[in-house]
Amino acid sequence: MRLLDWFEGVAVVRFAARERRVYTAQMMRGGIRAVGGCNLCDGGLELALRMRDLRRLRALSAERGLAMPGACSVRGLPVLRKRIRMRPGLLIGGVLSAVLLVLLTTVVWRVDVICLDNAQGTAARDRVDIASVKEALAAEGIGIGMFLPGFDARAAENRYLLAHNEISWMAINRVGTVLSVEVRPAHTVSHDGETALLAEEGYLRGSHLVADADGRILSFSVRGGQMTVVPEQMVLRGQLLASGIYTSETGDAVAGRAHGEVLAETVRVLRADIPITETVIRPDGSVRTEGTFVLFGHDILTVSWPPRLPEQIVTFLETFQKNGEKSGIDRHGCGIITDEAISDAAELPLCLPGGLPLPVSVRVQNRLGIQTTERALTEEEALLRARTALDRQEAALGAKQIISREETVLKRDGVLTAERYVFCVDNIAVPEEYRIKPE
């Protein structure tokens, strides 16, 4: 059936053997042409006529007093219009399906990160962590559910390369609704091995070494710069220790990156603030199971069992009153919001028959109800926690030698503050960058 015939509609009519000659003669006189036809086993004839030709044949037959047989079947757009009038939901469902199909092609369904260097057995230090790259891309909005129209892949590549030094090259290619991300590793060179200046926006960038604490210089090991202090000299915080710009023995001006360490006797001040009261969380024995339908990483529908009680449903007004401390509204009587702790969670992804995961999943969580109470710490407990925090800070210092320690404890406004003065031998040199205009 041709497309034009489908739009106009085609009906199939069967004529008996005794009627065949009469109706074919009528068609010849009226100039009516059949779309198709075939002979029947009993001598009859089956013809496919356009709807307008069928109406003309019926009119000619009525003029001669002939009873026109009914149509056996009707095909084409008129039948579809009739069904749509009887079932309007078919049209609505078809339109919604077409809209949904178009919308689904405008979002990302999968992100694949590929690093060929990993497969080629590169060194461990140059291997790329595919999972971390995918997480970093998702943090920048490049992940499942991202809107594809208007997405600038080149700009996204440049932003990522500027923010991550471990990647030297990236290419984001789109294949339908899948983003294929190819990366190459970059071995980051430590500043301790750098001596040349770095170019940046028309300037050359180098570094000095300055003191990050007061102290007495003991020894130093500096490269790429010239010392401006000597052993046994007292220095103050922020004072220049080694300059990256200096005059060489030949009288030439030299600019570079000063790096190394300057050991000095110094005092490091550590501080820990411990609240006197703490929040204690205890289970109240209630358990609620929640099922969440997740589409493209977004929660669409959440169903919980057993259902929440009416007094546990928080309305907008109650939420607004709950924030009365910030809004200036009295918070009295608004403590119906209950905290819950997630005891376990299971993600059930949906996959195609071939095993390809779809961006659709069901997350099942068992939430254990909890109660929060306030408890006051004893002075011994608070002091023990403060000293534990100070010990962690001292261990993170990485000082060369600890000479002595002094501690002070102050209790004020519900907070116990402990300070520790650590007299030690430590590296007080930190880099401070400078920029110069090249000649």
One-letter-per-residue 3-state SS of the chain:
CCHHHHHHCEEEEEECHHHHHHHHHHHHHHCCCCCEEEECCCCCEEEEEEHHHHHHHHHHHHHCCCCCCCEEEEECHHHHHHHHHHCHHHHHHHHHHHHHHHHHCCECCEEEEECHHHHCCCCHHHCCCHHHHHHHHHHCCCCCCCECCCCCHHHHHHHHHHHCCCEEEEEEEEECCEEEEEEEECCCCCHHHCCCCEEECCEEEEEEEEECCCEEEEEEEEECCEECCCCCCEECCCCEEEECEEECCCCCEEECECEEEEEEEEEEEEEEEEECEEEEEEEEEEEEEEEEEEECCEEEEEEEECCCCHHHCCCHHHHHHHCHHHHCCCCCCCCCCCCEEEEEEEEEEEECCCCCEEEEEEEEEEEEEEEEEEEECCHHHHHHHHHHHHHHHHHHHCCCEEEEEEEEEEEECCEEEEEEEEEEEEECEEEEEEEECCC
pLDDT in tens, 296-351: 777 888 888 777 655 555 444 444 444 444 434 333 333 333 445 555 677 777 77
pLDDT of res. 341: 56
Closest CA to 177 of 101, 125, 238: 101
Mean pLDDT along residues 22-45: 85
The C-alpha R_g of the chain, in whole angstroms, comes to 41
pLDDT of res. 231: 93
pLDDT of res. 196: 53
Question: What pLDDT band is residue 119 in, cutting at 50, 70 and 90?
Answer: low
Q: How high does pLDDT run on average in the chain?
A: 81
283 has a pLDDT exceeding 90 = no
Mean pLDDT along residues 124-140: 82
pLDDT of res. 7: 75
Tokens 């109660």 sit on residue: 371
The rounded distance, in Å, linking the Cα atoms of 207 and 199 is 13
pLDDT in tens, 223-262: 888 899 999 999 999 999 999 887 777 777 778 888 889 9
pLDDT of res. 337: 37
pLDDT of res. 190: 47
Amino acid at 250: T
The rounded distance, in Å, linking the Cα atoms of 99 and 97 is 5
Q: Which of 125-139, 152-166, 181-195, 383-397 has the lowest mean pLDDT?
A: 181-195
The rounded distance, in Å, linking the Cα atoms of 164 and 170 is 11
Cα 3 from chain centroid (whole Å): 47
Question: What pLDDT band is residue 47 in, cutting at 50, 70 and 90?
Answer: confident
pLDDT of res. 191: 46
Mean pLDDT along residues 40-61: 85
184 has a pLDDT exceeding 60 = yes
Mean pLDDT along residues 23-46: 85
Q: Is the previous residue joined to 149 through a cis bond, with omega within 30 degrees of 0? A: no
Mean pLDDT along residues 113-138: 77
61 versus 338: which is more confidently predicted? 61
Say if residues 48 and 38 touch (Cβ distance below 8 Å): no
Phi, psi of 345 (to 5 degrees): -150, 145
124 has a pLDDT exceeding 70 = no
pLDDT of res. 115: 86
pLDDT of res. 365: 85
pTM of the model: 0.46
Q: At what angle do helices 153-163 and 130-139 cross, to 10 degrees?
A: 110
